[in-house]
Amino acid sequence: MSDTAEIKASPMETHSALPAEETERLTREIIAGLKTVFDPEIPADIYELGLIYKVEIKDDRSVDVQMTLTTPNCPAAGELPTMVENAVASVPGVGVVNVKVVWEPAWTPERMSDEARLVLNMW
């Protein structure tokens, strides 16, 4: 079994063999790590841009991340997944990190948080 945190969705349900406190700590710190990754072309972090679709923390502490890019032609397509992998892997207690870029559902500006909208002046 594993614990899945749907980013920007309802509160996380814990179905993991890891203690709830540890899962919550890992989730908080993984999100904090994701917020350190910025698309080089956009002055907002990838988490607030809504580019992270799913983070799954498994019983063995490995982490699967599903993310997208603002466009398939994104100039940072080669480097952003590696930056995400490194940010998540830097969290104490995290095992192997697997990042998968997905294109469905397609990213739209509606996925951005209010914080990203403010930074980008997109109201």
Dihedral of alpha carbons 97, 25, 46, 113, sign: positive
Q: What are the chain's domains?
A: 20-112 (3.30.300.130)
pLDDT band with cut points at 50, 70 and 90 for residue 31 = very high
Return the higher-pLDDT residue of 1 and 17: 17
Q: What is the pLDDT of residues 46-89, one digit of tens each?
A: 999 999 999 999 999 999 999 999 888 888 888 999 999 999 99
| Residue 122, amino acid | M
pLDDT surpasses 50 at 1: no
The whole model's pTM is what?
0.83
